Chain A
Amino acid sequence: MAGLVTTFGAGAMTNSIGEIREADFLFVIGSNTSEAHPIIAMEMKRAVHRGATMVVADPRHIFMATMAKKHLQIKPGSDVWLLNAMAHVIIAEGLCDEEFIAKQTEGFEAVREAVAEYTPEKAEEFTGVPAEDIRWTARQYATTERAGIYYTLGITEHSHGTDNVYALANLVLMTGHLGKPSSGMNPLRGQNNVQGANDAGATPVYYPGYQNVNDDAVRKKYEASWGVTLSPKPGLNLNQMMKTLGQDLKGMFIMGEDIVLSEPNVKNVEEGLNRMEFVVLQEPFLNETARFADVILPSSVFAEKDGVFTNSERRVQRVRKALDPPGNAREDWRILLDVAAALGTPWEHLDSPAAIYAEMCQDAPKFAGLSHERLEREVHQGKTGIQWPCVDEQDPGTLYLHKGGILRGKGLFTAVHYRPSMELPDEDYSLVLSTGRTLYHYNAATQTRREVGLHAKQSEAFIQIHPRDARRRRIEDGDMVTVTTRRGEVTCQAIVSGQVRRGSIWMPLHFAEARANLLTSDAGDPVTQTAEFKVCAAEVRRAPESAQKGAADAPACGSAFPGSFYREAVPQNRQP
């Protein structure tokens, strides 16, 4: 998000989900959309059925690639090469929107100079994507009016994640694909309320509504509003917190996150947690992190509380209570008010989610026009919810950003150069491991692994490995394998799949008994500190258990993921 804030002035999807079906060109990069955002994938499929051209850039031949005109099977971590080469082609072939660049942007010359050396031929060496495909994609993108870019963590979860975002934003700015319907740059958010959590100020550098904590005027406003003295010093972000556990940090409050499953290089996290003086957890289930907690507060799930979530397109929507929490569990907002009161700050006026939301919006200009009452009452463009910015009661909200000009004033080009990922394959660890989410589970999977159908579809941890890499290691489909990195090892089932790049392996992050994050590196992006979940060096070998499994009469083969499309020997072309 930091990259988008820098270049455009707002860190959010520039378009709405409903505009996707109207797009004529979709560039999907680092997003396994049909598994991570199935409903957005349906909108993309709809565009393709309508005749739109889709290009998917991903190291794996994911489902969306079967519907794409072209699949750019890029080497993990080489995104800057691909994107700069596309920029190179657009500039070299005179496909820039010169008027847009002149009127609405700054810094183009630096980018022009920077990308001069990124020829498609050289990019082919680094990315593995044929130069002609890079040229074709660049031309299609630049010359199609309604051309949108869609990306997720495949772009950001790198030690050069912010560079990737800048490189994408450069393409958007040089072609003027911004401030128009179906045309823009769209990070698809991973959690139900990623946008809302950031909007609400659960970040070390912003008060609610992206107001800087080190801005004196903002701090004074909040000191007056909350009646306390506030710290002007920006706080630690999550990655920094994880690295200073038990050192600078001695006490921690964790609501609704299983950090020893979801954070990278978890062995260090566990050691740090052991040194903490006091840890509080607020959770609906006992999770892995509970082993380190001094107090655990039983909380509620979405069906048991009122409030709002803000989705990927900045749409604020109501969450409504349908049930009471079980036993003595309580709604999270009630618990937090109890905790605040116990800490000597009783906020009696905040007696409902509506009142809490009203207090938040009153001090954050971007949300000043929003309230629970309006969200209940109003429907815009036939849809529920209101998209921020929404500055006053009369404001119907904002369908797509940057319409009357870029929010930042001028869009900022940022020249970036390729930097290798922090850990590259070598003799000892010859494969590149990427991790991610699957359709059938969700993050730490405390919810989804308790579901019978999801379990039936995907019961255990697995890695996907290319047939040739598998053969060299005498691994067969369904074998148990041990995956090792410099940080740890896990054992899981192998899915041999021609849809993975040679030299790359892929693993889901959901399974507590084979924690992918024992393997991952906590190298962070220098700007956002987002960890490099997508690239680390790894090795795979057949696990001793395999021999035993083979002897037993139960066929282990394929049990991890029946019916997986990743087992199709030749990926079917599903383009209509």
Chain B
Amino acid sequence: MTEMYVLRVNGDEHAVADAWLGESLLYVLRERLGFPAAKAGCEQGECGSCSVFVDTTLVCACLVLAAAAADTEITTLEGLQPSARGAVTDVQRAFVETGAVQCGFCTPGLVMAVHALLETDPEPTDLAVREAISGNLCRCTGYGRILEAVEVAVAARRGAAR
């Protein structure tokens, strides 16, 4: 057991009490704090479906020890700011418009990875896109429409910046 600790998730503080020492950030987000967007896939850092930001760095929440993440700023998909056009982000909208979502299990992680990419590289090459999503497994789409979604998101941001 750990002593009570506080996690700061999407700008709000959440107390975590009576937790087992080895609980991952993914487990605490989903099972204790009610943030279900990050998905529990492999729990060994292979699938990327639990991707979150810890202090603006994209990581697998399953490999973060929750109790050691006190004093960090955690951002989940639920905490991303929607675009001016509605309730979802521009990247989420691009995924929907291109049909890049099938079963949807990998989608939150991929959306986080694409946001991370576009933060640092607003005009990524095809290779940069493929490398950026190389840690996110999708077993439905074959990735074609996901790559298309990234192009659509890039174009939308280019248009918005103009």
- A and B associate in one complex: no
**Hey, which bits of chain A sit against chain B, CB under 8 A?**
none
